[in-house]
Amino acid sequence: MLKQFSLFVQKLKDVEPIIRIEDVDGARLVQDFADEIERMLGSKMKSVKFDYFNALLVNTMDEEGNFIELGGEFPLEENEHFNKLSVNTLMSDIQVPTNVYNKDPDILNGVYMSEALNDIFINNFQKDPTLTWQYFGSSAGFFRLYPGIKWTPDANGVVSFDCRNRNWYIQAATSPKDIVIVVDVSGSMKGLKMTIAKHTINTILDTLGENDFVNVIAYTDYVRYVEPCFKGTLVQADLDNREHFKLLVEELHVKGEAKVKKAMKESFRILADVTNGQGSLCNQAIMLITDGAMEDFQSVFEEFNWPDKKVRVFTYLIGRDMTFSENVKWIACNNKGYYTHISTLADVQENVMEYLHVLSRPMVINHDHDIIWTEAYMDSVLPNTKELFKSKAHSLLLMTSVAMPVFSKKKETLSHGILLGVVGTDVPLLEVMKLAPRYKLGAHGYAFLITNNGYILAHPDLRPLYSDGKKLKPKPNYNSVDLSEAEWEDTEDSLRTAMVKGETGTLNLDVRAAVDKGVSVCISHLLCYNVKLLELLLLGELNKGHGQYVFFGNVSVEEVELWSLVYPLRTYCETDIDPHHRKLTQLQAVVRYLTGKEPDLECDEILLQQVLFDAVVTAPLEAYWTALTLTAPGVDEGMESAFLGTRSGLMRVIRYAGSEKRVGKKFLTPVDKENLFTVDHFPIWYRLAAENKPGQFFFYVPHDEINKGFNKGDQFLSNCFSQDVNCYLVDNNGFIMVSKEKGDVSISYTSLNTQTFCDNMPQQHFVSEEKHKMKDGDLPYPSVIMKILFSPAHRQKKVELMQPCNTEYPGFMYDTSIRETNSIIKCGRCQKMFVLQQVPNSNLVMLVVQADCDCSRQYAPITLAPRECNRMKSQKIRRRPESCHAYHPHENAKDCGGACGIAVSLTLYLICLATSLALR
């Protein structure tokens, strides 16, 4: 290997006259990333300014072979760009949920009038082929989707998807909300009424998002909070809190007599006290769920809400009894709210959605709206197997949506604020992060995106899926992972706070980056650059040393043969823009571009120039390896491969052992291929070696089932295998490289029942990455920091952890300044000696231990205290959305339920779509 190193250095000296070394301006680099991403996202925003086929019935025939009504012939063709689904890129089609009648006049009229969108969708896709799904969600309940697909119901034949429940629809239709849900749990609410009430609460909770705040109160003749920890305050309506409320609501029981007055007073007090970040400071509403209000309640509104009526009150009358309907309606109509009557479970969905239309009125009347970006979410169609997931289809899984409302502009109905629906498009986050490639940031540098609430949109440590047999499913709360749970060394939240506040600048941060599924860890010194990007927040972290400088060399393509050298997981050319390029691999795209066969391909010319340069300076190694196989026929004994990788992604590999003798069948490990939610990542061996000292050997055993227990180095310890001593070669992460027992290889040294390192290395406790919501949770080793020996208590059968666990593990940090040491270990009634010596120019230590005394020492995980109330209520710094549409003086508050709605004419609808949705 020294010979190879010398050849490489010599070649660099030979080409020194054509080398140019430049300092990387990290702030400028990240700003360039932000500009590129902003341009890309801006184009996505433009795409939403812009007889019917029922998606459930298309291509369906009756017994006589005729197409059924609304289900005519609809050509579908598999399309890799759309997750390998069968789609129709020439036409959109319509999805209607089971609980909505697909021939309702409002549906038929709306579908007919929204036909104009079809041409707009097609035109958008032609202008920007990177677009994915485009859609229009109608307030009537239908969903127009482009490209058209065949929609499949669930196992019971039910289509539960309702576009009006989706986060993109709700966020676009309304401004942030402070909601207090008040539910009657008196004796009269028993039986079906209580079941309907609980379903109503859950449905309201489902309409809330991370920009909203909420609490739930139950009342009889006294008031109680369903979660005592949240008494007297509002909590962020993130997924954790919403699901927590649902569990508590399910436990509600009825008893006593209803006294609504106390509950309403408590609700107004909560909404009046929204300081210290505990509220949206925008729309405020009380949701009253009851079977009747029988006491004098007017005085409450006189005291707390009149004459300004800043808090809207929405009332839901539960059950078939209409005795108290006038009282319940009066409350809503006199507080700018809306009254609905819910007599069956089937009525809940439609009636709950009415409150969103009321809250949208100020925005609609003012003819003003926001373009919103949602939190990360999974594409609605997940691949069914791991194999498919590991293919190119993964690029469409993690998404964000951009959406905006569409409303009526007719003067006669202006005061009613009629919301027609919401248009939107999906944006794969992988496509966004391609614009901030990691190769420009160094081996351990990376960029990530977060929302205004500090939740991760894209981050290299985000692991949103888990294995359920052969299927992959989203983990609970995968899209509400706070940045502090990924950047766990940002202990003071200084990085997170700066990002959320939109501050720009530079921050130095030492990051302990877990690699190889957390088994090995590298300490990286990063410079962090923060940039505000639209309503998202981008941060790039530049690896000091490996990321601060870049080589440039003038090399022509004629000097190189790199056709087999391009790293397959690196993005050199954008093949997704032109449909004709989508079937090209990166290697094929590079070859066609450099040879002039595909000049229209969009390729990274700087990266390709670096690849060409690397190919020239590494060429002598290829010749050396080839010559070695000819001059040393036995070279394959104990050696399988030789390889070289460069920052540009060039990779040279030679196999010394034939496939029949090879233990590692594939050069790229499974871990290399599983790093799906990052772009242009470096292989594990590259990342680990990059932090090593130049000229020093780095030894590494991949921690997988192939290498576990594999031991081809026992000849190096042949002189010290005896009954009296045990010998080990241990790497800098505390894992055994060589042992006389093959089963020991690649496991933690502390698993061998010895405390050799315990008394001689500084012991530290580090929080395992299992506490992070995004982590795999199925690792045989906890993920902590570099050079640590892990507790054997964690070596257990692989399990899938769906919830974060707060667990600490003891670790032992190897101090490289210790070249040699020895000592005696006392083990109860016996004692034994050990000797530890550093292996020169390597990351290994030689350990010799007397074998005649068993010094077992197990390290059990330290489980921290469970969440307390204060932690549940804690509110990290967040940035409220900048706009708020909560009030308009021209709003017609008399339209408050229990009466016929305003009809929208066909012509009006068509004009609205043509003007509001046309491309600018």
pLDDT band at 15 (very low <50, low <70, confident <90, very high): confident
Name the percent of the chain lying above pLDDT 70.
69
**Alpha carbons 666 and 659: distance in angstroms, whole number:** 10
Identify the CATH assignment for 428-543 out of 3.30.70, 3.30.420, 3.30.43, 3.30.450: 3.30.450
Site of tokens 């239908």:
142
Highest mean pLDDT among 50-59, 527-536, 603-612: 603-612
Give yes or no for residue 848 having a pLDDT over 80. yes
Whether 428-543 and 703-777+804-868 share one fold: the answer is: yes
pLDDT tens digit sequence for 729-769: 887 767 777 777 655 554 554 444 333 333 333 333 333 33
Q: Give which of 24, 23, 32, 33 is closest to 679, Cα–Cα.
A: 33
Q: Give which of 546, 491, 487, 538 is closest to 513, Cα–Cα.
A: 487
Q: How far is CA 820 from CA 352, 729, 735, 814, in A?
A: 72, 14, 19, 12
Give yes or no for residue 785 having a pLDDT over 70. no
pLDDT tens digit sequence for 322-377: 888 999 999 999 999 999 999 999 899 889 999 998 999 998 888 777 788 888 88
pLDDT band at 819 (very low <50, low <70, confident <90, very high): confident
pLDDT at 783 (0 to 100) = 26
Token digits for 394? 């993964």
Count of alpha carbons within 13 angstroms of residue 684, beta-carbon side:
23
The residues near 199 (Cβ < 8 Å, ≥ 6 apart) are 345, 348
Token digits for 277? 């970040």
pLDDT tens digit sequence for 686-703: 877 877 777 788 887 765
**Alpha carbons 416 and 245: distance in angstroms, whole number:** 33
- Sheet containing 520-533, strands listed edge to edge, beginning at the edge strand earlier in sequence: 456-458, 446-450, 536-543, 520-533, 505-515
Average pLDDT of the chain, as a whole number? 75
Site of tokens 């707009």:
120
> Distance from first CA to last CA of the chain, Å, rounded?
61
In this structure, are residues 517 and 779 in contact, taking their beta carbons and an 8 Å threshold? yes
Give yes or no for residue 665 having a pLDDT over 90. no
Residue, of 229 and 509, whose pLDDT is higher: 229
Helix-strand-coil split of the chain, %, nearest 5: 30, 25, 45
pLDDT at 83 (0 to 100) = 76
Instruction: Enumerate the domain spans of the chain.
Output: 46-165+374-425, 176-353, 428-543, 557-691, 703-777+804-868
Q: Give which of 181, 251, 247, 239 is closest to 210, Cα–Cα.
A: 239
Sign of the dihedral defined by the CA atoms of residues 439, 441, 442, 446, in that order: negative
Give yes or no for residue 586 having a pLDDT over 70. yes
Site of tokens 């000091």:
544
Give yes or no for residue 174 having a pLDDT over 50. yes
460 burial level (CB within 10 Å; 0-12, 13-18, 19+):
buried
List b or e across 136-173, with b for residues whose CB sees 16 or more CB atoms inside 10 angstroms: bbbbbbbbbbbbbbbbeeeeeeebebbbbbbbbbbbbb
Q: Give which of 616, 610, 639, 496 is closest to 551, Cα–Cα.
A: 610
Identify the CATH assignment for 176-353 out of 3.40.50.410, 3.40.50.150, 3.40.50.1970, 3.40.50.620: 3.40.50.410
In this structure, are residues 441 and 540 in contact, taking their beta carbons and an 8 Å threshold? yes
pTM over the 0.85 mark? no
What element of type H or E holds 10? helix 2-14
CATH of domain 703-777+804-868: 3.30.450
Token digits for 837? 């010596």
